[in-house]
Structure 1
Amino acid sequence: MARADRLLRLLTAFRVLPQPVTAARLAAETGVSERTLYRDIEALRAGGALIDGAPGLGYVLTEDPALPPQMFTRIEVEALALGLAEVRQMGDPALARGAKAAMAKITATLPERVQRQAIHAVSHSVRFDPRPPAPAHVGLIREASWEERAIDIRYRDLAGRESERRIWPLSIVWFERALMCLAFCTLRQDFRRFHIARMSEVRLTDDSFRPRRVALLRDYVAMVRG
């Protein structure tokens, strides 16, 4: 098999196989020896492919130089522009910066004609009554959710009673006038929604609940749907 054909087949295997994928599996998929496979992986890396991993650990294709530029329909471009514009008005400075950077990166990968559509989108989002600024600790809650680490909070309920809780943050939910944290409360051993603005203290702990976040979210959705 020609080397170019082998490299193309290897890229295809990376795209379709669950990752990380072992060298043995890649070699079987591409019909080469593992020794040849290692050389082909290095060739792809030299060509610009970002492939993480090593022999014995498995490999992950994290950046594929052979994929074509992003292509969106005109209505998809409008949806992206409108959605990211709305995110920039949600009162969370970190999300606003992320939305601005994401739009710039997306636009940079588009063909010239579609770039112009994105830059001059007809859909806009304007809030004359903007959302209040997000509480300072929303970033810490977001990080705890990403990392699946418990947080300790001091919380004031609707009646003004204060309590201390350890919770597993699962999701941040943006309502029109409230910012909520959906969490599993270790005290009540049940799901709870906490107003983030009523958290006077938030402390990140070393208590990990990985990998239960996705499963707990599925359980919550099933419970809500009854």
Structure 2
Amino acid sequence: MSRSERLLKLMQCLRRHRFPITSTILAAELHISLRTLYRDIASLRASGARIEGEPGIGYVLHPGFVLPPLMFSVQELEALALGARWVSHRTDQELAHDAQNALAKIAAVIPADLRLSLDEQALLVGPAQITPAGQTHLPILRQSIRQQRKLFIRYVDLKENKSDRIVWPFALGFFDHVRMLAAWCEQRTALRHFRVDRIFDLHIQDERYPVHRQALLRQWREQEGIPNSVLK
């Protein structure tokens, strides 16, 4: 385990305990010696962590401290890098660019040993066999969801019936061959799903919809029988 990973794990151990935890227990959880533990606690304190306590009594971390620089384990970096690469290959150019920027920012602030792990990633994402249609709509849809604004869409269903709708978008689903918009439809007065590739015109409205997005998402989960853990 690198020193960066060890400091992160120590922070996580301290955060799990609301009351003082002894150095013996901490060292056992981290599989390190007491001498190393005391040195790591001193390093965290020097970085600004409010860790109270002393050997023989126990230690407790006061909330509100974030490790500078940003700290991740090797496994967490693998997950972040793989996710960012998937976004770069499977979404619109705007989000792909943002994913690459995010990786660059992470690489700029993590310690050198973790940066090497990020640069030498062995988890790769191949090119998509099919690029779903409607990718150019995605930035507008994400903006409408973020701002919780009503959205005007012109839509053609699978039976080729065309309709104009005012919807309240609250979620966007990325599937292998299609992108799906989940929204409350004013015309149907119900929750509906819209294939993004079948939206042929759309405009964000000035008016915000009257229900909070999270409330619509909870209602949708209940209607579809989707546990919360599936979306986390």
| Same fold, TM-score > 0.5, yes or no | yes
The residue that corresponds to 1:218 in the other structure is 218
Whether the aligned pair in 2 keeps the contact of 1:150 and 1:208 (CA below 8 Å) is yes
Aligned partner of residue 171 in structure 2, secondary structure: strand
Alignment of 1:37-186 (within 5 A): 67-127=67-127, 129-132=129-132, 134-186=134-186
Closer, same or farther: CA 132–225 of 1 in aligned 2, 3 Å: closer
Q: Output the CA distance in 2 between the equivalents of 1:202 and 1:140.
A: 8
Q: Output the CA distance in 1 between the equivalents of 2:75 and 2:67.
A: 22
Q: Output the CA distance in 1 between the equivalents of 2:217 and 2:128.
A: 34
Instruction: Count residues in correspondence.
Output: 163
Aligned partner of residue 143 in structure 1, secondary structure: helix
Cα deviation, 1:96-148, whole Å, max 9, x if unaligned, reads 00110000001111011001100111111112515246432221111111100
Q: Output the CA distance in 2 between the equivalents of 1:217 and 1:87.
A: 23
The residue that corresponds to 1:191 in the other structure is 191
Aligned partner of residue 89 in structure 2, secondary structure: coil
Amino acid at match of 1:205: Q
The residue that corresponds to 2:206 in the other structure is 206
Q: Using the aligned pairs only, state the percent identity.
A: 31
Q: Output the CA distance in 1 between the equivalents of 2:99 and 2:88.
A: 6
Closer, same or farther: CA 223–94 of 1 in aligned 2, 3 Å: same
Whether the aligned pair in 1 keeps the contact of 2:132 and 2:178 (CA below 8 Å) is no
Q: Output the CA distance in 1 between the equivalents of 2:140 and 2:127.
A: 26
Cα deviation, 1:49-75, whole Å, max 9, x if unaligned, reads xxxxxxxxxxxxxxx997421221111
Amino acid at match of 2:148: E
Q: Output the CA distance in 1 between the equivalents of 2:83 and 2:105.
A: 15
Amino acid at match of 1:84: A
Closer, same or farther: CA 81–201 of 1 in aligned 2, 3 Å: same
Whether the aligned pair in 2 keeps the contact of 1:81 and 1:124 (CA below 8 Å) is no
Closer, same or farther: CA 67–91 of 1 in aligned 2, 3 Å: closer
TM-score by length of 1: 0.67
Aligned partner of residue 194 in structure 1, secondary structure: strand
Which runs of no fewer than 5 residues in structure 1 stay unpaired? 1-63
Whether the aligned pair in 2 keeps the contact of 1:149 and 1:210 (CA below 8 Å) is no
TM-score by length of 2: 0.66
Q: Output the CA distance in 1 between the equivalents of 2:119 and 2:151.
A: 41
